[in-house]
Amino acid sequence: MNPLNAIYALSFLTAAAAFLFALYLYLWVKRQKVENSRIQEVSALIAEGARAFMDKEYRTLVYFALPAAALVFLLLPSPIWTGSIVPNIQMAVAYAAGTVLSAVAGRIGIMVAALSNGRAAERAQNSLSASFLVGFRGGAVMGLLVVGTSLFGITAVLLAFRDTSILLGFSFGASSLALFAKAGGGIFTKTADVAADLTGKVELGIAEDDPRNPAVIADNVGDNVGDVAGMGADLFDSNVAAGASALVIAASLAGSEAAIMMVLCYSFLGLIASMIGIACAKVGKDGNPTRALNSSTYVTTAIYLVLTALATFLIDGFEWRIWTAAATGLLVGVIIGITTDYFTDDTKPIVKRVAKASKTGPAFTILSGISYGFLSSLPAMVGIALSALIAYKISAPLGDGYALFGIAMSAVGMLSIVGMIISNDAYGPIVDNARGLAEMGGLGEETLRVADELDSAGNTVKAVTKGFSISAAGLTVISLLGAFMSEANAVLEGLGKALITGFDIMDPSVFFGMLTGASVPAIFSAMLILGVDRNAEKMVGEIHRQFDTIPGLKEGTALPDYRRCIEIATGGALRELVKAGLFAIGATFVVGFIGGPASVGGFIAGNIISGLLIAIFMSNAGGLWDNSKKYVEAGNEGGKGSEAHKAAVIGDTVGDPFKDTAGPSINTQITVVSLVASLFVPIFAAFSIF
C-alpha cells in the first residue's frame, strides 16, 4: 500500500474508532437510571422541544440548501454552460454531504445531551464525581461525533473525487448548517431566556425554573440547541474549513503528496489525542471539576504534540517547520484561552471590579463591562496575528506556497484538540440543565449544592472554549483567504485576465472591500440582537395570554402550553436568522459585482478583522457580566436584592445576546462569507463594475 493510501485508511479507522467510542459512551450514559418521575417528565419535554426545533430548523434549511445546491451545481467550479458537468455534480454532492453530515452529528449529539441532563441530576445525589462523569461523557459523544464526522467527510470527499477544490463545496455545506445551528440556536435560546426571566423573575416573582412559567421548557431547550448543537456545528464548520483550506493549499505545493498526508495525519492524531483525553477525564481526589476539565485539555495538548512529533520524525517528507507551525497555533490557542479566563473568571480581579462598579448603578456596570470587553480583545487579536506571522516565517524557507501552508497548518494545529474542546463545552449546558432538573425534581439541598458546583465549572470552562473557538476561526479564515486567492487565480487564468498576486491595501478596490467588509459583522450582530428583542417581546405576549386564559395556571393546578412558546421561539429564530444571513451573503455579492475579486479579497479581510474584534468583545463582555452577577449573588457588594445586584442583572441581560447569540455567530458569518466569496469568484471576475 502506498503511504498516502495508508494515511487515508488510518483516517477512516480513527473516525470509526471515534464513532465506536461515542457509541460506548452513549450506552454507558443510557445505562444510568432515572427514577424521579418529575425529572423523567421534564426531560422528555426538553428532548421533545429540542427535536421540534431541530426538525423545523432542518426543514427551513432545506429551502435554503436546495437552491444553494442548485446554484452550486449550475455555477461551480465553473458555469455549467462552459461544459463543466462532472465537477459541478461533484461539487453539489459535496455541498449536500457537508450539510447532511453536520446535521446528523448535531442531531445525535443533542439527543444524547438531552438524555444526560436528567441522569446527571440523579447521579448528583450519589456523588460529585459520578454526576460529573455523566455530564462530561454525554458531552463527549457530541465532541467525538463532530470530529469523527468531519474527518470521515473530508477523507471521503478527497478519496471519492481526488480533487481538493471540491472540499470547498463540502466546507460550504458545513458552514450553511452552522449558520442555521449557531445563529438560529442563539436567537432561540436568548428569546426564551429573556422572556422567561422578564415574566417569571421580574413580573411574577417566581423562581427561575418554576414549572408554571410557559417559557420554562423553551428556556431549557434553548440551552441544548444553542450551546450544544450550535457550538458543535460551529466547530464542525471551523474544523472542516481549516482542513479543507490546508488541503487546497497543500495540493498546489511542489511536494503535494507529503503535504496532503501531513494534513490528514495531524488531523487524525488530534482525534486520537482527544479520545485519550476524554477517556482520562475524571474528578480527582480534590473534588474540583474545573481542574478536571482543564487538566484533560492539557493532557490532550501534550499527547497531540508528542504524537505529531513522532509522526514527523518517522514519516518521510513531514517537515519539522510545519510541525512547529502547528504547535505554535495550538499553544497560542491555549494561551488565548487562559487570557480569556483572566477577564471572565470570578476569582480574578476584572469580574470583581465590574461587580464593584455595579454599586454606582447599571450605567457603570455597562460602561465597565464594555471597556473590559474591548481590552480583552488585545491578547487574542495579537495572538492570532503573531501565530500567523510566526507560522509564515517558519514555513517560508520550505519553498513557494509553503508559507501559506504553514498558516493553514497552524489553524489545523489550533483545532486539533477540538474533540476535547467540544466535550468540555457541551458539558456546560448539560450540567446547567441538570441543576434545573434537580430543583424541579426536588432532590434536596445537598444535591443542588453538587449540581451548582458542576454548573459553575461549566461556566468557567465555557469562556475559555469560546475564546479558543473564535481564535481558531480567525486563523482558519486567514488560510481561507489563501484558498480564495488560489481559486480566483485559477478562474482569472481561464478568462485570460491578470492574476491576483495579493490584495494591496492601497488599491482602493481592496480598500472599498475592507471598509464594507468591516461593517458587515457589526450589522449582522445588530440584526441578531434586534431579532432576539422582537421575539422575546412576542413570547412575553404569549405568556401573558396563557396566564390570562388558562384557568388554574397561576395556582399551579393546570399546566401551561409549553409547546406554543417553543413554536414562537423556533419560528422567530429562523425568520431573523434568514434575514441576517441573507444580508451577509448579499453584501458579498454586491461588493463582488462592484469591485470584482480585489474588492472581495479586501471584503474578507475587513470581515475577519472587525469580526474577530466584535466577536471577542461580545463573548468576553457577556461572560464577564454573567460572572459578575454570580459574584454579587454569592453575597459580595451587597449580595442578592441589593442595588448592585439589580445593576448586575441588567448587565447580564445585556450580555446574554452578546455572548450566546451575536458573538459566537460571527465566526460562522465570517466562514460563510469567505466561502461564498471563494466559490463565486468566477462570477465576480467576469462581471464587475470597476
Rounded Cα distance, 310 and 323, in Å: 10
Decide: is 195 part of the binding site for its own copies (CB under 8 A).
no
What is the nearest approach in angstroms of its own copies to the Cβ of residue 80?
31
Asked whether position 98 contacts its own copies by CB under 8 A, the answer is no
| Contacting residues for 325 by C-beta, under 8 A, at least 6 apart | 390, 391, 394, 395, 406, 407, 409, 410, 413
Which residues, in sequence order, are CB contacts of 327 under 8 Å at separation 6+?
305, 308, 413
Toward its own copies, which CB reaches closer, 265 or 573?
A: 573
CB of 196 to its own copies, least distance (A): 14
Among 174, 440, 518, 679, binds its own copies (CB under 8 A): 518
- Residue 141 interacts with its own copies (CB under 8 A): yes or no: no
Q: How far is the CB of 439 from its own copies (least distance, A)?
A: 25
Distance of alpha carbon 430 from alpha carbon 441, whole angstroms: 16
- Binding status of residue 87 toward its own copies by CB under 8 A: no
**Is 198 a residue that touches its own copies (CB under 8 A)?**
yes
Q: Give yes or no for a contact between 345 and 460, defined as CB atoms under 8 angstroms apart.
A: yes
Do you know the residue count of the chain?
690
Minimum CB distance to its own copies smaller for 280 or for 505: 505
Applying CB under 8 A, the span of 66-74, 363-371, 488-496, 551-559 interacting with its own copies comes to 363-371
- Cell numbers describing residue 145: 461525533
Q: Considering the rule CB under 8 A, would residue 642 count as an interface residue with its own copies?
A: no
- 73 part of the interface to its own copies, by CB under 8 A: no
Q: Is residue 92 a contact point for its own copies (CB under 8 A)?
A: no
Q: Candidates 103-111, 205-213, 312-320, 504-512: pick the segment binding its own copies (CB under 8 A).
A: 504-512
Q: Which one, 236 or 372, has the nearer CB to its own copies?
A: 372
Interatomic CA distance for residues 523 and 529, integer angstroms: 10
CA-to-CA distance for 407 and 433, rounded, in angstroms? Answer: 39
Interface mask toward its own copies for 307-336; x: CB under 8 A: ------------------------------
CB-nearer residue toward its own copies: 42 or 492 = 492
- The reply to whether 402 sits near its own copies by the rule CB under 8 A is no
Check: CB of residue 163 under 8 Å from CB of residue 51. no
473: contact with its own copies by CB under 8 A: no
Cell numbers for 639, please give them.
449580595
CA distance 416 to 431: 25
Among 180, 512, 562, 684, binds its own copies (CB under 8 A): 512
Interface pick for its own copies out of 420, 612, 675, 679 (rule CB under 8 A)? 612
70 interacts with its own copies by CB under 8 A:
no
Cβ-Cβ contacts under 8 Å for 510 (sequence gap 6 or more): 503, 504, 595, 598, 599, 601, 602, 605
Is residue 468 at the binding interface for its own copies, with CB under 8 A as the rule? no
Measured over the CA atoms of residue 264, residue 268, residue 271 and residue 273, the dihedral's sign is negative
Task: Assess contact for 590 and 673: CB atoms under 8 A.
Answer: no
Q: Which residue's CB is nearer to its own copies, number 57 or number 197?
A: 197
Binding of its own copies by 398 (CB under 8 A):
no
Q: Which is nearer to its own copies, 150 or 377 (CB)?
A: 377
Considering beta carbons, is residue 16 or 378 the nearer one to its own copies? 378
Peptide bond into 77 cis (omega under 30): yes
Site mask for its own copies (CB under 8 A), range 340-359, x = bound: -----------------x--
Span 374-393, contacts to its own copies by CB under 8 A = 374-375, 377-378, 381-382, 384-386, 388-389, 391-393
What's the min distance (Å) between Cβ of 599 and its own copies?
8
> Of the ranges 47-55, 139-147, 520-528, 666-674, which one interacts with its own copies (CB under 8 A)?
520-528
Query: Rounded to an integer, what distance in angstroms lies between the CA atom of residue 473 and that of residue 391?
Result: 16
Q: How far is CA 75 from CA 83, 126, 170, 395, 676, in A?
A: 11, 59, 15, 35, 12
Tell me the residue type at 190. K
Q: Which of 41, 208, 257, 507 lies at the binding interface for its own copies (CB under 8 A)?
A: 507
Give the shortest CB-382-to-its own copies separation in angstroms. 6
Distance in angstroms (rounded) separating the CA atoms of residues 290 and 461: 7
Where are the alpha helices (H) located in 76-165, listed in sequence order? 86-123, 128-161
> Judged by CB under 8 A, does residue 582 bind its own copies?
no
Indicate whether 613 belongs to the interface with its own copies (CB under 8 A): yes
Please give the residues from 586 up to 605 whose contact with its own copies meets the rule CB under 8 A: 595, 601-602, 605
Q: Does 363 bind its own copies (CB under 8 A)?
A: yes
Q: How far apart are CA 118 and CA 121, in angstroms?
A: 5
Residues 6+ apart with CB under 8 A from 183: 528, 577, 580, 581, 661, 665, 668, 669
Residue from 361, 497, 633, 683 that binds its own copies (CB under 8 A)?
A: 361
The single-letter DSSP state of residue 506 is: T
Q: Does 533 interact with its own copies (rule: CB under 8 A)?
A: yes
Instruction: Tell me the three cell numbers of residue 186.
Output: 442563539
CB of 338 to its own copies, least distance (A): 18
State in Å, rounded, how far the first CA of the chain is from the last one: 52
**Would you count residue 420 as binding its own copies (CB under 8 A)?**
no
Q: How many residues bind its own copies (CB under 8 A)?
A: 79
Tell me: does residue 489 bind its own copies (CB under 8 A): no
DSSP string, 115-133: HHHHHHHHHTTT-HHHHHH
